[in-house]
Structure formats: structure tokens, C-alpha cells
């Protein structure tokens, strides 16, 4: 479980996140939704430690990530997998080398075991025949899959996805959604997904966090969305704009 307590973040003189309090549970997809520029990516980057919040704490199963000494931060990071908005695959490495990368850096496996693990991860995301290709040679949807495979290569406990289906066609988007949902369930990962795709929300979302102008505007279960809309104009506007 990940718990955020009073997280504030600003850039120069512009505050982006205001007093964020939120909880993300393991085994279910936790969705963060909100309009562009609302601060979703910044929140995610604070959670994985790419930005340091000015105040507040981020607890990974009781470990306060913001205030731990650097060595222990790295321990936590080894349990974190992240799928970036632009996938961030290493473009000098092939698909299998990308998935191998965290294993090679941190794993304690023999080369054969690594090979098995790579093939397991790649087949888990439905990519069997691209092992030797470079990122520049595969499609956007395939890159996302490789990104997911790399993120789960080590026994990941926390998975972060920044807009996993931006720039994908509707069919591929649904597949990626299902994949994330299944992986989360199967390995009991705490998964946090940024999205502005309402279809994703209704398909796989369970815990929903709606961010509006840097504040947590509403947090609850998907089933409560429709009841909440009626008296939450900002949330209603967001959902209505995507024609739901």
C-alpha cells in the first residue's frame, strides 16, 4: 500500500500540488484522472522520487520514501517499476536487452534464469517475436508492452504507469488496460495509473482519484462515480467531456 500525506510540490514560484492525501491499495488498479496540466505526471514523479516534494511524506508500506537515507531509497526503488508516458526504452538496446537490463543490474540470477525470466515477461505481455528488434523498429503499442515487461522484470511490488494508452488505437488501448489489470491482480502489485481516458476508468478502474488543479478533488470507487457526478460539477465536466 502506498500512502501520501500532505504532499506539496511547487516549481519556482508556481505551486503544482496542494496538500495531497491519498491511499493506493495493492491488487487493484488505482487510477488517477484529471485534465491535462492538472499535475498527474508531477504527482507520479514525486511518488517515484524523481521530484522531491517540499513537504509531506510518501509511505511505501510504512517506509517513508521522502525521508529515508539514500541507500534505503534505492532499496525501495528496486521494488518500483515504471512505464513512462513516452515509454523511455533504452534505444541502444534490443527489446530483450531492455527487459534484461534491471535483471542484469540487480538480479541474482544466472544467465539461463535471466533468459527464462525475459521470455516469461515478454510472453506475459504478449510479445513473442520481437526479442532482437530495437525500439525504433517496433510500433507504439509494442513499445508500451516492452515498457511493461521491463517494469515487471524484477519482482515488482509497485507499478506506476503514466498514460499507458496515450497515442494508441482503441483496440490496443483496451488490450494494454486488460494487461495492466491482470498483472496487478496476478502478482498483487500496487498499481497506480495516470489516465484521462474514461473508457479505462469504467473498464478496469477500481479506486479512482480525481485531481483538479493540483488538488485531490475526489477519491472513491468507480461504482460511486455516477452518484458523485451529480453534485461535483468539475468531475461531471471531466466525465461529460469524454461523452460518458
Partner 1 sequence: MNKLFFELGRYILFVRSMFFKPERFKVFFERTIHEMNNIGVGSIGIVTIISVFVGAVTTLQTAYQLVSPLIPMKVIGTIVSDSSLLEFAPTITCLVLAGKVGANIASEVGNMRVTEQIDALEVMGINSSGFLGLPKIIAGVIMIPCLIIVANFLMISGGILAARLTDLMSPNEFIQGARETFKMFTVTVSMTKSLVFAFIITSMSTYEGYFTEGGALEVGEAGTRAVTRSCVLILFADFIIAKLML
The footprint of partner 1 on residues 48-67 (CB under 8 A) is: 48-50
For residues 5 to 24, the per-residue mask of contacts with ligand ATP, x marking binding by CB under 6 A and - elsewhere, is ------x----x--------
Nearer to partner 1, 49 or 232 (CB): 49
Confirm if 2 and 23 have CB atoms less than 8 A apart.
Answer: yes
Regarding 87 and contact with Mg ion (CB under 5 A), the answer is no
H-helix segments, the chain: 40-48, 70-77, 95-106, 111-124, 140-152, 170-187, 198-204, 225-229, 233-241
Q: Which residues contact 236 (CB under 8 A, 6 or more apart)?
A: 229, 230
Regarding 121 and contact with partner 1 (CB under 8 A), the answer is no
Q: Name which position in 22, 24, 39, 151 contacts ligand ATP (CB under 6 A).
A: 39
* Other Cβ atoms within 10 Å of 200 Cβ, number: 23
Confirm if 128 and 122 have CB atoms less than 8 A apart.
Answer: yes
The footprint of ligand ATP on residues 167-196 (CB under 6 A) is: 196
Regarding 74 and contact with partner 1 (CB under 8 A), the answer is yes
Nearer to Mg ion, 99 or 160 (CB): 160
Regarding 165 and contact with ligand ATP (CB under 6 A), the answer is no
Rounded Cα gap, residues 59 and 49, in angstroms: 12
Rounded Cα gap, residues 58 and 66, in angstroms: 6
Residue 91: which of partner 1, ligand ATP, Mg ion, none does it interact with, CB under 5 to 8 A by kind? partner 1
Closest listed residue to residue 80, CA positions, set 40, 47, 117, 125: 47
Footprint of partner 1 (CB under 8 A) = 45, 48-50, 73-78, 80, 82, 84-86, 88-91, 101-102, 104-106
Footprint of ligand ATP (CB under 6 A) = 11, 16, 34, 36-42, 196
Amino acid at each position: 500500500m502506498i500512502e501520501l500525506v500532505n504532499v506539496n510540490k511547487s516549481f519556482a514560484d508556481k505551486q503544482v500540488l496542494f496538500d495531497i492525501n491519498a491511499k493506493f491499495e495493492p491488487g487493484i488498479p488505482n487510477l488517477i484522472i484529471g485534465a491535462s496540466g492538472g499535475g498527474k505526471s508531477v504527482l507520479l514523479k514525486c511518488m517515484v522520487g524523481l521530484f522531491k516534494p517540499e513537504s509531506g511524506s510518501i509511505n511505501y508500506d510504512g517506509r517513508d520514501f521522502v525521508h529515508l537515507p539514500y541507500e534505503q531509497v534505492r532499496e525501495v526503488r528496486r521494488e518500483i517499476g515504471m512505464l513512462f508516458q513516452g515509454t523511455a526504452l533504452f534505444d541502444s538496446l534490443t527489446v530483450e536487452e531492455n527487459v534484461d537490463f534491471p535483471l542484469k543490474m540487480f538480479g541474482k540470477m544466472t544467465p539461463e534464469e535471466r533468459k527464462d525470466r525475459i521470455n516469461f515477461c515478454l510472453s506475459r505481455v504478449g510479445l513473442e517475436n520481437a526479442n532482437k528488434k530495437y525500439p525504433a523498429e517496433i510500433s507504439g503499442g509494442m513499445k508500451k508492452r516492452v515498457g511493461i515487461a521491463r517494469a515487471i522484470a524484477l519482482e515488482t511490488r509497485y507499478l506506476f504507469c503514466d498514460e499507458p494508452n496515450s497515442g494508441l488505437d482503441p483496440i490496443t488501448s483496451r488490450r494494454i488496460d486488460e494487461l495492466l489489470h491482470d498483472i496487478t491482480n496476478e502478482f498483487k502489485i500496487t498499481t497506480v495509473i495516470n489516465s484521462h481516458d474514461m473508457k479505462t476508468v469504467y473498464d478496469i478502474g477500481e479506486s479512482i482519484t480525481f485531481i483538479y488543479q493540483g488538488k485531490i478533488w475526489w477519491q472513491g470507487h468507480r461504482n460511486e462515480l455516477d452518484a458523485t457526478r451529480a453534485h461535483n460539477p468539475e468531475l461531471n465536466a471531466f466525465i461529460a467531456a469524454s461523452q460518458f
